[in-house]
Amino acid sequence: MTAAVATDLTAGTWAIDPVHSSVSFSVRHLVVSKVRGTFQNFSGAIVVAEDGTPSVTAEIAVDSVFTGNEQRDEHLKAADFFDVANHPTATFASTGVRADGDAYVLTGDFTLKGVTKSIDLTLDYNGVNPGMGHGAVAGFEASVVINRKDFGVDIDMPLETGGAVVGDKVTITLEIEALRQA
């Protein structure tokens, strides 16, 4: 995502289109399967400088978590997990980007439950399309695996047979469509 590589991502602000984007996660459940969920409310922008250097900011309303199970969603909002009463948002602010073969690594500060850590997202840039009458759109896919305990989501729910109800590793996946702002 530098000027030398992604020349069709023009300078300016590209706003994340939440209607055509998603923020999802998966985590091991009962050792043998995964629970998947999404965050329904999020926003963000990619600002591309004249030299092609991008910066990314994003905010997720953590209370918008949706796993398809209301009881589980309410538990995730509680102090055991996200503690949305005290930490209603998760944020990301990029600190750098570098090419990695055909993909990129987007580094930034991720804050969840009041804890900020640097993370590296694997990023695929899908290019730019002229859009459908509302301006150019750019597409991105990104993912990262974090340890939930590093961010204070440290509930332990061990199983009698070994392992835990909820795994420590959480995969976060972003499917982003961003609209070029006038």
Domain ranges of the chain: 12-180
CA torsion sign for 125, 24, 45, 97 is negative
pLDDT of residue 79: 92
pLDDT of residue 164: 66
Q: Inform me whether the pLDDT recorded for 159 exceeds 50.
A: yes
pTM (2 decimals)?
0.90
Task: Please check the confidence at residue 55 and state whether its pLDDT lies above 50.
Answer: yes
In this structure, whether the domain defined by 12-180 belongs to CATH 3.30.56.10 is answered with no
User: How far is residue 93 CA from its own chain's centroid?
Assistant: 11
Give backbone dihedrals phi and psi of 73, rounded to 5 degrees, phi first: -60, -40
Give the pLDDT confidence score for residue 29 in this predicted structure. Answer: 74
**How many whole angstroms separate alpha carbon 127 and alpha carbon 93?**
22
Which band of pLDDT confidence, cut at 50, 70 and 90, is reported for residue 5? very low
